[in-house]
């Protein structure tokens, strides 16, 4: 494979969620060309089996590979936690970066994870209660069931109280452009009702990043919220930089491929994509055939 630095970075998700990762990529690598594939024909990924996901994932990566993508970023936690080794085995020469929920960036040095409270019982005996910090991980149903999340949870279990909840309804609210609706905000409030005392919230789905403001309104400022796109973008940057593959394109492009694109959806894409210096030209396509 001939990897030219100006070859594009392939990015994909089931829909709009991966745009949150694309935004992180653009911020870190503003001179790159991007092809973003929204797999709206298979949307949603969130309740699909590992087998189905691997089949879909291999197909999309294959298309990127045939078009000489210099790297592929799976901007989807559900796909990344399905079976990354299977993707790497199928495409040994192509670098594939996954997007995974990870709580490590929230654990800043000096952070106190356990508080001890002293009380006295009726007989005046001292009682010490250990309160561990609480971490809530939200993701799609498939990610919640994945081996990856099982390992992550047991890891965190050693020093925090960990809760895992599927929240597929947020994915649908993003796709249907309903984040500002009364119905969605009410449902989100209801969802967090029993988690109002959490300390950390880990967003294990790229769609969820677009609902951060509403989550903050409900949970307040004291909760640390971590999404996964920035780590994937950093991994991608490190790889390209270490391999001298960073582009220096002065007129970079973003090609969006979405089988269900129409005027309304284009507006949503344009609202969600953040191009800090207006560097990129955005074009929309229904199929892969016409991308550059
Ligand atoms: N955005 C995807 C993720 O990060 C999946 C959403 C879906 O299709 O269910 O998991």
CATH number at residue 213: 3.40.50.1860
By residue range, what is the domain housing residue 109?
104-226
**pLDDT (mean) for 103-119:** 83
Q: Is residue 39 part of a domain?
A: yes
* Ligand 1 lining (C-beta closer than 6 Å): 13-14, 17, 43-46, 76-78, 140, 143, 171, 205-207
Same domain? 64 vs 202: no
If asked whether residues 123 and 157 sit together in one domain, one would say: yes
Q: Are the C-beta atoms of 248 and 128 separated by less than 8 Å?
A: no
Q: What number is the average pLDDT over the span 13-42? A: 97
Per-residue pLDDT, 3: 57
Closest ligand 1 atom to residue 75 Cα is: 4
Q: Are 138 and 205 in contact (CB under 8 A)?
A: yes
Given ligand 1 and candidates 75, 99, 140, which is best to mutate, with the most ligand atoms within 8 Å of its CB?
A: 140
Number of folded domains that form the chain: 2
Is there a domain that residue 3 lies in? Answer: no
In this prediction, residue 109 has a pLDDT band, given cuts at 50, 70 and 90, of confident
Residue holding tokens 């199929």?
Answer: 287
Within 10 angstroms of residue 95's Cβ, the number of other Cβ atoms is: 18
Specify whether 67 is located in the same domain as 169.
no
By alpha-carbon position, which residue is closest to atom 9 of ligand 1? 46
DSSP string, 40-54: TTS---TT--HHHHH
Same domain, 214 and 138: yes
Q: Are residues 63 and 144 in the same domain?
A: no
What is the best residue among 205, 227, 229 to mutate for testing ligand 1's pocket, by most ligand atoms within 8 Å of CB?
205
Q: Are 221 and 234 in the same domain? A: no
Three-state secondary-structure class, residue 11: strand
Print burial letters for 154-180: b (CB count within 10 Å at least 16), e (below 16).
Answer: eebeeebebebebbbebbebbbebebe
Residues 213 and 243 in one domain: no
Calculate how far, in angstroms, residue 12's C-alpha sits from the geometric centre of ligand 1: 10
- 153 shares a domain with 220: yes
- pLDDT tens readout for residues 131-176: 889 999 999 999 999 999 999 999 988 889 999 999 999 999 999 9
Locate tokens 């490190």: which residue? 238
């Amino acid at each position: 494979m001939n990897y030219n630095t100006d070859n594009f970075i392939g990015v994909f998700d089931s829909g709009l969620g991966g745009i949150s990762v694309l935004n992180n990529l653009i911020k870190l690598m503003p001179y790159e060309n991007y092809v973003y594939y929204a797999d709206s024909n298979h949307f949603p990924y969130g309740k699909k089996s590992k087998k189905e996901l691997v089949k879909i994932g291999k197909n999309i990566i294959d298309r990127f590979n045939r078009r000489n993508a210099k790297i592929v970023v799976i901007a989807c936690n559900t796909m990344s936690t399905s079976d990354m080794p299977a993707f790497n085995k199928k495409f040994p020469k192509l670098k594939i970066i996954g997007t995974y929920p990870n709580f490590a960036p929230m654990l800043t040095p000096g952070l106190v994870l356990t508080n001890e409270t002293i009380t006295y019982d009726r007989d005046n005996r001292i009682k010490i209660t250990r309160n561990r910090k609480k971490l809530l991980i939200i993701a799609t149903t498939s990610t919640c069931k994945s081996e990856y999340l099982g390992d992550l949870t047991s890891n965190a279990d050693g020093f925090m109280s960990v809760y895992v909840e599927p929240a597929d309804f947020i994915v649908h609210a993003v796709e249907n452009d309903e984040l500002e609706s009364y119905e969605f905000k009410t449902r989100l409030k209801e969802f967090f009702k029993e988690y109002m005392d959490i300390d950390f919230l880990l967003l294990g789905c790229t769609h969820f990043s677009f609902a951060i403001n509403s989550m903050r309104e409900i949970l307040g400022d004291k909760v640390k919220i971590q999404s996964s796109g920035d780590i994937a973008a950093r991994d991608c940057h490190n790889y390209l930089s270490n391999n001298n593959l960073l582009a220096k394109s002065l007129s970079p492009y973003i090609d969006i491929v979405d089988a269900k694109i129409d005027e309304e959806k284009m507006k949503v894409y344009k609202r969600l994509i953040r191009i800090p210096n207006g560097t990129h030209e955005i074009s929309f396509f229904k199929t892969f055939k016409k991308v550059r």
